């Protein structure tokens, strides 16, 4: 055993996510990531084909973590709230927003359309929406659940992105604004056409 390090691929991905959040995406270099483990940059090529593959893995991990955060938020709701689909959905959406707040840079990366080829594969993307759609189906029925989901997802994603981009300049209670916006949309869903 000439070299002690023996870094694990999963550890590299986790550390990369940390560094991207704390230092910024542009400051994550193979050198900086390797240095965090006390190894040399070229060693990383035994774990990832190239830097793009590393970043794609980071995005996939972020997407998975987001799903977990949503499910955890839903499961932590009270029994009554879990029984009521609207309340259950709102809990999940709050979990979604909290995750984005906790991981703003990597969250944005997943949905950035400036960098292609970094997109999570279709299966991962599907897994991301699945929990939301299941609950949405309980709210508006399976038939309308796809468009209803898209609107709700758009609302939450857009709110979070505008927040993170600092576009809500006039202050005010953003937690409350989020709550209001989501409930407004849900109210609209309950309307007969």
- Name which of residues 111 to 140 contact a second copy (CB under 8 A): 111-115, 119, 122, 125-126
**Interface with a second copy by CB under 8 A: which range of 19-27, 42-50, 54-62, 74-82?**
19-27
Query: Is 53 or 105 the residue whose CB approaches a second copy more closely?
Result: 105
99 binds a second copy (CB under 8 A): no
Query: What would the DSSP string read from start to end of the chain?
Result: --------HHHHHHHHHHHHHHH-GGG--HHHHHHHTT--GGGGGGT-SSHHHHHHHHHHHHHHHHHHHHHHHHHTS-HHHHHSHHHHHHHHHHHHHHHHHHSHHHHHHHH-SSSTT-SPPHHHHHHHHHHHHHHHHHHH-HHHHHHHHHHHHHHHHHHHHHHHTT--TT-S-HHHHHHHHHHHHHHHHHS--
Binding to DNA, residues 27-86 (CB under 7 A): 27-31, 34, 38-43, 45-47, 50-52
Interacting residues with a second copy (CB under 8 A) = 24-26, 104-105, 108-109, 111-115, 119, 122, 125-126, 146-148, 150-151, 153-159, 161-162, 164-170, 172, 176-177, 180-181, 183-189, 191
């Amino acid at each position: 055993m000439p070299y002690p390090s023996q870094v694990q691929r999963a550890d590299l991905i986790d550390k990369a996510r940390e560094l991207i959040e704390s230092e910024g995406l542009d400051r994550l270099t193979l050198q900086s990531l390797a240095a965090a483990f006390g190894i040399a940059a070229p060693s990383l090529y035994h774990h990832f084909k190239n830097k793009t593959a590393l970043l794609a893995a980071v995005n996939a991990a972020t997407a998975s973590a987001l799903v977990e955060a949503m499910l955890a938020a839903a499961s932590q709701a009270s029994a009554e709230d879990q029984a009521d689909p609207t309340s259950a959905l709102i809990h999940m959406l709050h979990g979604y927003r909290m995750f984005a707040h906790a991981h703003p840079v990597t969250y944005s990366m997943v949905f950035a359309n400036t960098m292609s080829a970094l997109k999570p594969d279709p299966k991962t993307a599907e897994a991301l929406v699945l929990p939301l759609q299941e609950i949405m189906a309980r709210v508006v029925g399976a038939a309308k659940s796809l468009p209803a989901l898209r609107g709700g997802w758009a609302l939450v994603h857009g709110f979070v992105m505008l927040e993170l981009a600092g576009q809500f300049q006039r202050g005010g209670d953003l937690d409350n604004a989020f709550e209001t916006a989501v409930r407004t949309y849900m109210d609209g869903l309950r309307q007969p056409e």
